[in-house]
Amino acid sequence: MALPVKTTDFLQETGGISVFTGRFFKEAFKPRYEISEFLRQCFVIGYRSLPLIGLTGFIMGLVLTMQLRPSLIEYGVESQLPAMVGIAIVREIGPVITALIFAGKIGSSIGAELGSMKVTEQIDAMEVSGTNPFKYLVVTRVAASTLMLPILVMISDAISLFGSYIGVNINGITSFPLFYTQVFNNLGFSDVLPAFVKSFFFGFAVGIISCYKGFYSNKGTEGVGQSANSSVVISSITIFVIDLIAVQITNVLNLN
């Protein structure tokens, strides 16, 4: 139901999102910027997501450490646990998990919000009153999610590493300076920068897909639920697809 099953539906969806993306870029750089609405959206999308993302990040760091530990002990490289967890979190787990949680929380809220505005014809009313609904509703949200997700990813990485430090210390004893020395000694720019860059794309994908789904929601309350649901599903899949493309690009550019 959520996924377009027919090929024509799929192509239509893809084309629609492409046009929508083009329209976003066209509108985004045209003056009369909705600064205060953008900041409000940043607050809602970024700041309000922090507790959820912080919690998941912490748990991920802790659990990943404790799950990796037995295997590393088997190979006698238990001391490399911080390095390994650090690389896993910074390169992959941090951006992807954060983006998925972000898609779940923000994608559904944007989809539902814009969908219900569409259903209740508020968007049409806005257009009549002379406000550009695309600029006011879509550009601010997409820009906010694009810029907020990388910051969320960074904070999530920090919290995850802290969780990992606790995880390391549950079974063994490692001082904090040793832990962070080990983590940072094994990280390079090639680990951090691609992850940081790809989280912009994750954020943009979540914003644009959710807005598209909400903006072109079907009539009726059923349509609102549908647009909320499909925003999350398609955003999540797109995150993985972008991740796949990103790892290929990193390999081609020989950054890892």
Partner 1 sequence: MAKKTVNTIKLGAFVLSGLFFLIVLLYMIGKNSNLFGPSFILKAQFEDVQGLVPGNNVRFSGIQIGTVKRIKILKDTLLEVEMRVDKKMEKIIRNNAFASIGSDGLMGNKVINISPSGQPAPLVAKGEVLNARNGVNTDDMLQTLSKTNDDMAVIAAQLKSTVQRINNSTALWEILNEETLPRNLKRSAVNMQLATARAAAMADDLQAIVSNVKNGKGSAGAILTDSSLAMNLNEAIAKIKGVGETADELAASLHAVIKDVQQDVYNGNGTVNALLKDSTMVTKINSSLDNIQKGTHSFNQNMEALKHNFLFRGYFRRLERQKQREAKKTMAFQEQRPAPADK
**Which residues of this protein are in contact with partner 1, per CB under 8 A?**
36, 39-40, 42-43, 46-47, 50, 90, 148, 150-155, 157-158, 180, 184-185, 187-189, 191-192, 196
Toward partner 1, which CB reaches closer, 27 or 37? Answer: 37
CB nearer to partner 1: pick between 204 and 215: 204
Alpha carbon distance 47, 122 (integer Å) = 26
Rg (CA), the chain: 20
Give 184 or 216: the residue with its C-beta nearer to partner 1: 184
Residue nearer to partner 1 on the CB measure, 97 or 119: 97
Mapping DSSP onto H, E and C, the string for 39-71 reads HHHHHHHCHHHHHHHHHHHHHHHHHHHHHHHHH
- What is the nearest approach in angstroms of partner 1 to the Cβ of residue 36? 8
Exposed / middle / buried, residue 26 (Cβ in 10 Å: 0-12, 13-18, 19+): exposed
Closer of 84 and 90 to partner 1 (Cβ): 90
Q: How far apart are CB 3 and partner 1 at their closest, in Å?
A: 33
**Residue 15 C-beta: closest distance to partner 1, Å:** 35
Closest contact distance (angstroms) between CB of 62 and partner 1 is 18
Q: How far apart are CA 81 and CA 162, in angstroms?
A: 13
Query: What DSSP state is assigned to residue 172?
Result: S
In angstroms, give the least distance from the CB of 188 to partner 1: 6
For residue 167, the Cα-to-chain-centroid distance in whole angstroms is 25
